[in-house]
Amino acid sequence: MTVIKKCLFPAAGYGTRFLPATKAMPKEMLPIVTKPLIQYGVEEAMEAGITDMAIVTGRGKRALEDHFDISYELEHQIAGSDKESLLSGTREVMEQCNFSYTRQVEMKGLGHAILVGGRLIGPEPFAVILADDYCVTESGDGVLTQMVKLYAQYQCSIVAIEEVPKDETYKYGVIEGTEEAEGIFRISNMVEKPAPEDAPSNLAIIGRYILTPDIFQIIEETPPGKNGEMQITDALLAQAKQGRVIGYKFRGRRFDCGSVAGFIDATNYTYQKEQEQAKE
Ligand code: UTP
């Protein structure tokens, strides 16, 4: 059985909705309470049994690499103090995972970022996490773990989907498909950022994917779509037309931390959870 060993993190976007915070700092380093978004993503991948983390960065994103590296001066400074424990989670991640990086030189869209990241992946199925979609589950498996288990059964590309209000379809890739089992859709069509009247459903793709490696060739052959960008939705459509894409209504909750409102909601939610845990 093929297992998913690698997770790609496209993190080269400009994050313009968070300016000026993202002028010199990657959006993926924004903290939810004290932990940066990228680390939540990496921990979700680890929970799914993945140890190879491949990160697509861009100009001004060096903080991502520094975060998963040793900071001798800082660690020396806090050694033996009660602050040392604050870094133990990050150290654990660094010890258990391999990190590799590549740069997207021109920001030509998510599809292009995935194509660029292909250098770090090779000819095997892989996971994709958009760290600005922060996913939590109250109990049971994390979202990527759920999807990896589903991959073992279906052996085709899988996209995480959720219901969104009809007037918000213009923010997402939206699917059309038939429900084969509870929450599992065989996708026949998908449209990138449709106006509500053009949306085939209210089931939107969020930032968790499992992709089969033929996607790289398909992205290369797919002409630029909406906004002149290379859209992953357009490439996935080619697989979907062959019945090779599953939409999975995941268990859990997603916060759109690429938007200010979603980021604040995630912060409030997480802070409250941490306070509750501290009391237990
Ligand atoms: P977004 O649509 O959220 O774009 O990208 P953005 O540029 O990061 O943010 P705004 O809209 O300007 O505020 C979705 C994901 O795809 C990555 C982003 O880093 C984010 O994780 N991405 C997007 C790339 O890596 N490269 C690109 O060229 C575009």
Q: Are strands 157-163 and 35-36 parallel, antiparallel or unpaired?
A: unpaired
pLDDT (average), residues 170-179: 96
Quote the ligand 1 centre to 257 CA distance (angstroms).
12
- Indicate which atom in ligand 1 lies nearest the CA of residue 108: 28
The residue nearest atom 27 of ligand 1, judged by CA position, is 109
Give which of 147, 125, 117 is closest to 249, Cα–Cα: 147
CA 222 to chain centre: 22
| Band (2; pLDDT cuts 50, 70, 90) | low
**What residue type is 93 in one-letter code?**
V
CA atoms within 13 A on the CB side of 150: 31
Listed in order, strand segments (DSSP E) in 165-236 are 173-181, 184-192, 203-211
Helix H or strand E segment including 70: none
pLDDT (average), residues 222-233: 88
- Is-contact 247 197, C-beta < 8 A? no
pLDDT of residue 71: 87
Q: Which domain holds residue 214?
A: 6-279
Domain count, the chain: 1
Within-domain flag for 224 = yes
- Per cent of the chain over pLDDT 90 is 86
| Band (88; pLDDT cuts 50, 70, 90) | confident
Quote the ligand 1 centre to 13 CA distance (angstroms).
4
Give which of 252, 239, 45, 28 is closest to 128, Cα–Cα: 45
Quote the ligand 1 centre to 61 CA distance (angstroms).
13
Within-domain flag for 265 = yes
Output the CA–CA distances (angstroms, integers) from residue 219 to 122, 192, 211, in the order listed. Answer: 15, 15, 12
Quote the ligand 1 centre to 181 CA distance (angstroms).
32
Question: Which CATH number does the domain housing residue 219 bear?
Answer: 3.90.550.10
Within-domain flag for 43 = yes
pTM, 2 dp: 0.96
- Indicate which atom in ligand 1 lies nearest the CA of residue 106: 28
Quote the ligand 1 centre to 108 CA distance (angstroms).
10
27 lines ligand 1 (CB under 6 A): yes
pLDDT tens digits for 90-137? Answer: 999 999 999 999 999 999 999 999 999 999 999 999 999 999 999 999
Distance CA 4, CA 45 (A): 10
Q: Which residue has the tokens 């199925």?
A: 125
The residue nearest atom 29 of ligand 1, judged by CA position, is 109
pLDDT of residue 170: 95
154 lines ligand 1 (CB under 6 A): no
Within-domain flag for 40 = yes
Residue 130 neighbours by CB under 8 Å, 6+ apart:
9, 10, 41, 110, 206, 207, 208
Within-domain flag for 1 = no
- Is-contact 63 57, C-beta < 8 A? no
